[in-house]
Amino acid sequence: MFTGATQVAVMRESRREAREVAETVVHVEWSTADGRLHHALGLSRDVSAAGIGTIIREEVAVGALVSIRLPEINMAGAGTVRHCSRSGRNYHVGVQLHSKLRTTGRPRISPRVATASPAA
């Protein structure tokens, strides 16, 4: 499912949906109670059909509606923040997705350059 520099491994636990470790760049966008729009760049931690765990530098209120983009794997979605906990200078934000992540375009796959060996 994931390509490129993304690291993926299946996590074994007792959730309804299997989570996969997916360490890739994530863009999170949300509005605060006063209507201000916020953007944060961070890393995804894990992804499932039902949710995504992220690490960002800003606190997001539990219950906030967020938009998520994962540009390295051309995926995007929207959901509701279910938890936000501080860890050092970062926040671990868990988002329950409203629907499965959708593809946003062609995957960014690095072209491989084939070199022909000289005829012997």
pTM: 0.73
Q: Map out the domains of the chain with their CATH numbers.
A: 7-101 (2.40.10.220)
User: Three-state secondary structure along the chain?
Assistant: CCCCCCEEEEECCCCCCCEEEEECEEEEEEECCCCCEEEEEEEEEEECCCEEEEEECCCCCCCCEEEEEEHHHCEEEEEEEEEEEEECCEEEEEEEECCCCEECCCCCCCCCCCCCCCCC
Mean predicted lDDT score pLDDT of the chain: 80
Residue 106's pLDDT is 60
User: Mind listing the pLDDT tens digit for each residue in 74-106?
Assistant: 999 999 999 999 999 999 999 999 998 899 876
